[in-house]
Amino acid sequence: MVRREDSMARLMQITTPLAEDVLLFQRLHVYEELSRPFEHQLTLLSAQKDINLDDVLGKPVSVQLGIPKGKFRYFSGYVSRFAQSGMVGRYYRYTATSRPWLWFLSRTADCRIFQEMTVPDIIKQVFADHPTADFELKLSASYHKWNYCVQYRETDFNFVSRLMEQEGIYYYFRHDKGRHTMVLVDSTSAHSPYGDYGTIPYIVPERVRRTDQEYIDSWEISREIQPGVYAQDDFDFERPSAVLLTKKNVSRKHNEADYEIYDFPGEYLQKADGDHYAAVRMDELSTQFEIANAATNARGLCVGATFTLSDQTRDDQNREYLVLGANYDLEFSAYEGLSDPNPGTYQCSFRAMTTQQQFRPARTTPKPLVTGPQTAVVVGPAGDEIYTDKYGRVKVQFPWDRYGKKNENSSCWMRVSHPWAGKNWGMIAIPRIGQEVIVDFLEGDPDEPIITGRVYNA
């Protein structure tokens, strides 16, 4: 019979796919961050030397952590890696890595086309392909429809990640016993405190504290120079003279505060959309301007939650913050045969930013590039010989598009290059349905195809 210190056993427990007490909790290290899949590193003990690894791999686990007033918070995920690694005292040691269901999207890649859909709708369609998906949309902004959006030789995870980063959508995970929910947000107003942790006091390390008191005992605030202006431009062939340049700036009081970032193309055709993206990019840069790094023993401090700091020696620091990321270390070693003067410990270091600044995720997920021209077949409605619009554009079926129906819905309208072309003059030879054409991509962007030639085939 395993003997445990009752109070600590209630504080930290684990639920696994196996029978109760087959795997015992010893240690958990957690790294969690806004807009990133979390990672839980677990050390577990067992009296069994030959647990079947497949009985745990790919299945949900939850670590329960006691918080005041008899309540609990959880760290839940799916086991992505499970291993047996030696012994600790009289127990066999097992290690597990637990990740969110979102991580499974990094295990699958595809090529497919989405048309006339907003980014939230595209995300919902991608998630619908994954039975483990558990998510909630808490979006307040309106999102324009993308005429043509291609997932090209990239994982489902990278695809939805770059779309969210482009639009300024970010996420955190809400953990419950046996499940975790991905919450997609785009505004600070979507965040709230966790439980009774709306206010957390700062107590200097030298001050005497009650053993049951929760507080922050380390607080470092820093600022780093960031660009003060973001400008971008684009081009619309239907309105070649349209001015689409947009700019967003932020005023700061320190020296060297007005450096400008300029980019082209901004991936928009309406100036209002450009204004929105410029504001999102400026928020993205400003997110890194002022960051607080801190440490706490507050067991209910959660990534994605807000809290108000009180009693900090700098009055300007006593305000509301959003938790951006956290490292948690939990350990429980009060098992028979294991001697540990501190059988149960909890430590947390975290990063936070003021809620006066809107958080936006960094654009770290690259958009795939098409490294050269491709061939495709011109398509249209059944029975037609030519299918075109007023600009002489046509639609095609790409050989990599396994979902296309080889009809008028297989792609967006694509402009066609001609030997001689201009405004109200030139020559035109519209590609026929069934003809093989050469398709290139502006700046290698799979969302920007253009037909540059035609070829014979059998």
The mean pLDDT of 321-340, rounded to a whole number, is 84
pLDDT at residue 335, rounded to an integer:
77
Residue 323 lies in a domain: no
Q: Would you place residue 3 in the very low, low, confident or very high pLDDT band (cuts 50, 70, 90)?
A: very low
- Residues 291-304 have a mean pLDDT of 98
Q: Is 89 in the same domain as 18?
A: yes
Q: Answer whether residue 247 is part of any domain.
A: yes
Going by pLDDT thresholds of 50, 70 and 90, the confidence category of residue 334 is confident
- 341 plus 260 within the same structural domain: no
When pLDDT is cut at 50, 70 and 90, the band that residue 344 belongs to is confident
Each residue's pLDDT tens digit, 72-100: 999 999 999 999 999 998 999 999 999 99
Task: Examine the domain organization and report whether 11 and 75 are in the same domain.
Answer: yes
In angstroms, the Cα distances linking 405 to 26, 231, 412 are 54, 40, 13
Mean pLDDT rounded to a whole number for the chain: 95
pLDDT tens by residue, 182-201: 999 999 999 999 999 999 99
How sure is the predictor about 291, in pLDDT bands with cuts at 50, 70 and 90? very high
Residue 35 in any domain: the answer is: yes
Q: State the average pLDDT over residues 344-353.
A: 95
Please name the amino acid found at residue 119. V
Predicted local distance difference test score (pLDDT) of residue 313: 93
190 assigned to some structural domain = no
Provide the pLDDT for residue 423: 84
pLDDT of residue 342: 58
The answer to whether 101 and 135 are in contact (CB under 8 A) is: no
Residue 135: φ, ψ to 5°: -145, 165
Structural domain for 272, as ranges: 229-286
Verify that 385 and 336 share a domain, yes or no.
no
| Total domain count, the chain | 3
Q: What is the reported pLDDT for 6?
A: 44
Q: What pairing do the DSSP bridges indicate for beta strands 36-46 and 24-33?
A: antiparallel
Q: Say if residue 388 is in the same domain as residue 338.
A: no
pLDDT band at 24 (very low <50, low <70, confident <90, very high): very high
Query: Which residues are within 8 A (CB) of 104 and not within 5 positions of it... i.e. 6 or more apart?
Result: 78, 130, 132
Does any domain span residue 32? Answer: yes
**Whole-number Cα distances in Å, 419 to 78, 353, 409, 427:** 57, 56, 28, 7
Is 340 found in the same domain as 425? no
Say whether both 96 and 56 belong to one domain: yes
Distance in angstroms (rounded) separating the CA atoms of residues 74 and 12: 10
Residues of the chain above pLDDT 90, percent: 91
335 and 379 fall within a common domain: no
- For 94-127, the pLDDT digits (tens) are 999 999 999 999 999 999 999 999 999 999 999 9
Confidence of residue 422 (pLDDT cuts 50, 70, 90): confident
Q: Identify whether residues 16 and 95 lie together within a single domain.
A: yes
Q: 216 φ, ψ to 5°? A: -105, 130
pLDDT band for 234, please (50, 70, 90 cuts): very high
Task: Indicate which CATH number applies to the domain containing 403.
Answer: 2.40.50.230
Cβ pair 346, 13 in contact under 8 A? no
Region 238-251 average pLDDT: 96
User: Does residue 338 lie within any of the structural domains?
Assistant: yes
Do 81 and 44 sit in the same domain of this protein?
A: yes
Quick one: pLDDT band at residue 436, thresholds 50, 70, 90?
A: very high
Domain identity same for 96 and 17: yes
pLDDT of residue 4: 39
pLDDT value of residue 333: 77
- Tokens encoding 270: 């309406």
Q: Could you tell me if residue 218 is inside a domain?
A: no
Taking the whole predicted model, whether its pTM rises above 0.85 is answered as yes
pLDDT tier for residue 266 given thresholds of 50, 70 and 90: very high
> What pLDDT shows up at residue 5?
41
Q: Are residues 88 and 14 in the same domain?
A: yes
Contacting residues for 348 by C-beta, under 8 A, at least 6 apart? 295, 296, 297, 298, 299, 301, 326, 327, 328, 329
Q: Is residue 170 part of a domain?
A: no
Closest Cα partner for 343 from 333, 358, 353? 333
Whether residue 147 is predicted with pLDDT greater than 60 in this model: the reply is yes
pLDDT at 1 over 50: no
